[in-house]
Amino acid sequence: MEERVAGASAGQASARVPCTPPAASQLYEIAVLDTTAEDGRARWHTIGWGVDRIHAQSLAESYVTRPMCPYEEARIRHNGRLVAVHRRPA
């Protein structure tokens, strides 16, 4: 994601800078499938970030196996690429 820099002087092309700091590209996004919406439609929500894959795996598994209101499914993405899926045990 990029953002235009405000205040570029006249005659200069507007500069673009990344909005996401370099360190954020090292994080693992954890999204969960929430099936409790009032309209009955399931929705994906980013619920947290793991600092490495092992940390993200642990968090995702805890979201689908917790005793109170477990989520149906949790997905882990790294730089937009799906790397793991955890589902609630049957």
By the 8 A CB rule, do 72 and 60 touch?
A: no
pLDDT score of 19: 56
- Condensed to tens digits (0 to 9), the pLDDT of residues 17-75 reads 555 556 777 899 999 999 888 898 999 999 999 999 999 999 999 999 999 989 999 99
Q: CA 2 to CA 6: how far, in whole Å? A: 13
Residue 78 has pLDDT above 80, yes or no: yes
pLDDT score of 36: 86
Burial state string for 49-64 with b = 16 or more CB within 10 A and e = fewer than 16? ebeeeeebbebbeebb
H-type alpha helices, the chain: 53-65
